[in-house]
Amino acid sequence: MPNPDEMYDEATRIKDSGDLEGAVAKLREILEADSNHALSHSALAVHLQKLGQPDEAVSHARKVTELEPDDPFSFTQLSVICMRCGLIQAAEDAMAQARNIQTRG
């Protein structure tokens, strides 16, 4: 059985072929095997936002910040997802957190 990173590569190939819903299905499969696979949560946040599922997109973006709380990109992505989903204050808060992390490092 492939490991989560190999499955993630497969999800990327599926997305690149134009099958966004198929990629989402593969990413969900990865999370069934490893619920803490940050790359899968990150990709799901982007794909679900594009598919018009804002609540779930934001939820996955938030999970990335929980899994990688010292990574400013995690909060930058959360900010972008929140902005695209119309959650302006949450987007601003996430961007402020990203800046705080960058100045600490």
Domain spans, the chain: 4-104
Fold of 4-104: 1.25.40
Q: For residue 75, what are the CA distances in angstroms to 14, 25, 38, 43, 45?
A: 26, 24, 13, 14, 12
52: DSSP letter: T
Indicate the pTM of the whole model: 0.94
**pLDDT given at position 105:** 66
**pLDDT given at position 1:** 73
Flag residues of the chain having pLDDT under 50: none
